[in-house]
A and B are shown apart, each in its own frame.
Chain A
Amino acid sequence: MTTVNPTVNPNDILQTAESLRWEIGPEFHEQLMEGIYTEAAKLADRAVTRPEEKPRFDLDRTIDKIVTSRVWGFPMMILLFTVVFWLTISGANVPSSLLATLLIDKTVPLLHQGADFLRLPWWLSGLLIDGMYLGTAWVISVMLPPMAIFFPLFTLLEDFGYLPRVAFNLDNMFRKSGAHGKQALSMMMGFGCNAAGVVATRIIDSPRERLIAIITNNFALCNGRWPTQILIASIFIGGLVPAYLGGLISALSVVGIALLGVFFSFVVSWGLSRTMLKGEVSTFSLELPPYRPPRIWQTIYTSVIDRTLIVLWRAIVFALPAGAAIWLSANITIGGVSIAEHLISFLNPFALLIGLNGVILVAYIVAIPANEIVIPTVLMLTVLVTGTDAGAGAGVMFELDSQADTMALFSAGGWTLLTAVNLMLFSLLHNPCSTTIYTIYKETGSKKWTAVAALLPLAMGFVVTFFVAQIWRLFAG
C-alpha cells in the first residue's frame, strides 16, 4: 500500500527530475532510441520465419561477381552504355526526320493555306504558325524520338537491377569529389534530358549529395545539345582534316566535349561539397536490390508516360511562348530595324570578346526554353543580319539540308574556327533550359539553389570562352 503524502510539493518532483536528468548521462536519447529499434527488431524476428536452408547456387551473387569484378566490371559497363547510346542515336535518326517531314514540311504549308482561306492577317498567321507552331514542332521532332528510345532502355536496365551495381562500381570516384555513386545514374539520365536527370536524383537519399547531383546535372550534355555539337563539329572540325577522317575526328571532338562536361561535373561537385554545401546533412547507403527479369511492357509504358511525356509536355509549354518570342523579335521593328537586330548589335561587342557573336548570344537568350532550337534560330538570325537570300523569311526558323550551304551561311556571318569551338564550349557551359530550371525549383523547393544551378554554369561558360578566345588570338593571331 502506498499513501499519497499531501505535503509533497510538485516543485520538489520537478527538481528531483531535473537532478536525475544529469545522472542518466549524455547518451540516453540514443540509448532509448536504440532500445526501441532493438525491441522492434526482436518482435519482427520472432514473428517472421525464414527457410533455414540456403540455396547452394545463388544466382544474384553469381551475377554480382561478374558485373562487379575487377576484370569485367568496367569493360561491361562501358560496352552496355555504348550500346544504349548507339541505339539511341542511330535509332532516333529515322523517326526524327519522319516527324520533321510530317510536322514541318507537310503541315506548315497546309496551315498557311488554311490561314489564307480564313483570311487571317499576315502577322497573326506568322505569329501562330511560323512562330509558336514551328518552334513547338521543332522541339518535338528533335526531342521525342531519342527520349522515347533512351528512357525505356535505361529503365529496363534499372528494372533488371543493373544500375545500382554501376553506382557501386563507380562510387569511389564520386566519393573523392564529395558526391554519391548514384550521381553516375542521374548524370547518365542527364545525357538524355537534364530535366529528367534532375528528377532522377530522387534516388539519392542524402540531402547534400542530392543537391550536388542536381546542380551539376547540367554538365551532362543533353539530347537537345547533341545536334548542335554534331553539326558544328562536322562542319568546322571535321572540315580541318581529309574527308575520310572527317567523321571520326568530329565524332571524337563531340565525345571530348561530353567528357569535358563529366570532368566539370566532378570539379564542381568537389568545390560545392567543400564550400556552399558543407553544412548540408550527408549520409551514405546504397542498396543493391535483387535482380529480377525486366517487365518489358510495363517498363515501356511507365517510362513513356512518366519520363518522356512529362518532360515533353513541359518542353511544349515553354516552347510555345519561345516560338512566339522568336518570331516577334524578328518582325517587330523599331526605327526600321527589328528588335532581334538591335539586341544583336548591342550584344556583339561582348560576344566578340568571348569569341562568339551577337547572333549566338541572342539565340541562346530566346532559346532558353529549349536547346533544340538554338541552331535553327542562329541560322534564321544570321540570314536576318547578313541579308542573304536563304531561309524562309524573317522570324521563321529553318535548317539547311546541305552542310556546304550551312557553312557558306556561317562564313557570311563572319564565323571562324574559334567561333565554332567556343560555341561548342558555350553549348556545354551555359544555363540549363527553362524546363530544367523549373524542375530544379520543383525538386529543391529553394530559389537559392535554383539560382546557383542556373547561373554557375553560365558564369563558367563566360570565363572559359573568354580565356579560350584570348589565348587563341594570342597564338593564332
Chain B
Amino acid sequence: METNPAILLLIGTAVLAVTAVFLWPEKGILSRWQQGRQMTDRARREDALKHIYKCEQKGRRASVESIAGALHISTNDVAELLGDMQTSHLLHIHSDNITLTSEGMESALHIIRAHRLWERYLAEKTGFSESDWHSQAELQEHQLTPEAADALAAQLGHPTHDPHGDPIPNAAGSYVYHGGQPLNELAADQPARIVHLEDEPEAVYAQLVAEGLYPGQTVRLIESNSTRIRFWANGNEHVLAPIVARNISVRPLPAVVEEETAVSEKDHGTRLSDLPLGETAEVIRISPNCRGAERRRFMDLGILPGTAITAEMRSPSGQPTAYRIRDAIIALRPNQANYIYVKQV
C-alpha cells in the first residue's frame, strides 16, 4: 500500500465518527433534522393552542411569557405567532387576556385527543417504555388528522382515558374530567383513588412509574409534612418528596367503597417475584401497569385472580424463575413477576 496506514486509520476513525454523529439514534443530526422538520408553524400554533387551553382548564391565565416557556421560543416569536393566530380566528386577545375562540377550542381539543390517543396506542400496541410515551406523542399529535384519530380510537376500542389517567376527548370534543386534589392535601388515613399522574416533567414522572403507581390505584396517606409525604399503596409504604407527590392527583373514596377497600387492603398481597421457592400462592390481580400484549399473554397462560401458582425452580444464572401454573411449568422474569400480586395460602 502506498498510503500510510496511520493516515488511513485516522480517516477511517473520522468517517466512523461522522457517521455516528449523523445517524446516532435520537441525538444524531438525521433524527434531529426529522424532529426539527416537524416543528413547523402549524405545530407551533397547535402547541400554543394546547397550552392556552390547559391554562384555561387550570384556571390560570396564559401569557406571552408562559407560552414562550412552554414552546421554548422567544417572546418576540410568540407575539408574532399570536398575531397570526388572531387573524385566523383561533383566539381573542383583549389587552393581557388571551382566550380561545370556539374554532380555537375545537383545534385544541383535537390536539389533546390525538396526543392522549397516541399515548394509549403506544402503551397498548407497542413495546415503547413509559418514559417514551409522552415525548413521542408530542410529535405525533401534529401528524394525526381527525379521521386518523377516529380510526385509531376505533382500533383501540374507544378508550376514555390515556395511560396517565387523563380523559380522552371524544370525536365531538367533549369529555368528563373527574378532577382530583394533590396527594399532599389529602386528610391522613382517608382512602383515595389515584385519578391522574402528571407526565411532565419527565424525571418526576419516571420516579412515579418506578414506585409502581398507576391511575385507579387505592392509596392512603400516613403522614404529610413539608419535607416528605408517606403513604400506603399496593400494600407497600412509599415516601416521596412533596414536590413529587404534587404530581399525583387523587379523589377521596366515598364511604361505601371505603369499606370495600378496608377489607381488600388487608390482603394487598405480595409480588409473585417475592414468593420463595417451593411455596404456593393464589393470584389476587395483575397490575394495571401491565398492558397490551404482555397482559394478554398472562391471561393466555391462565394467570387470573384465584389461580394457584407454585414457585418451582430458579435458573442457575439468577433469573428467570420457573412457576407451576395450571400444571404447566412457565418461566417468568422478575420484572414480569413484579406485575402479579399474590397472597400466600
Contact = CB atoms under 8 A, between A and B. Distances in A.
Contacts of A41: 302, 304, 306-307
Interface in A62-78: 64-65, 68-70, 73-74
B305 interface: yes
A41 B304 CA distance: 8
Interface in B186-219: 215-216
B36 interface: no
Nearest to B299: A37
Given A168-B331, A171-B319, A287-B330, A278 B128 contact: yes
Contact of B175 (A22, A73, A169, A285): A22
* Interface residue tally on A, bucketed by range: 35 or more
Interface stretch (B56-64, B146-154, B160-168, B260-268): B160-168
A402 interface: no
A169 B16 contact: no
Given A282-B127, A283-B294, A285-B332, A169 B5 contact: no
Given A30-B288, A171-B319, A281-B293, A287 B25 contact: no
A106 interface: no
Interface stretch (B40-48, B104-112, B236-244, B308-316): B308-316
A470 B126 contact: no
B135 to A, nearest CB: 12
Interface string B254-290: 0000000000000000000000000000000010100
B89 interface: no
A284 B161 contact: no
A71 B129 CA distance: 36
A343 interface: no
B320 A467 contact: no
A470 B12 contact: yes
B317 interface: yes
A26 B161 contact: yes
Contacts of A34: 286, 299, 304-305
A35 to B, nearest CB: 9
Contact of A288 (B304, B316, B330): B330
Given A30-B288, A171-B320, A279 B126 contact: yes
A452 B292 CA distance: 27
A386 interface: no
26 contacts: A22-B167, A29-B159, A30-B295, A33-B296, A34-B286, A38-B304, A68-B316, A171-B315, A172-B315, A175-B319, A181-B331, A278-B127, A283-B297, A284-B320, A284-B336, A285-B301, A285-B331, A287-B331, A288-B330, A288-B331, A353-B1, A353-B8, A463-B12, A463-B16, A470-B6, A474-B9
Interface of B: 1, 5-6, 8-9, 12, 16, 25, 122, 125-128, 132, 157-161, 165, 167, 170, 175-176, 178, 215-216, 286, 288, 292-297, 299, 301-302, 304-307, 312-313, 315-320, 322, 327-333, 336
Given A19-B176, A27-B288, 8 more contacts: A34-B299, A64-B313, A68-B313, A172-B319, A173-B317, A282-B293, A286-B330, A474-B5
Interface of A: 18-19, 21-22, 25-27, 29-30, 33-34, 37-38, 41, 50, 61, 64-65, 68-70, 73-74, 168-173, 175, 181, 207-208, 274-289, 352-353, 463, 466-467, 469-474
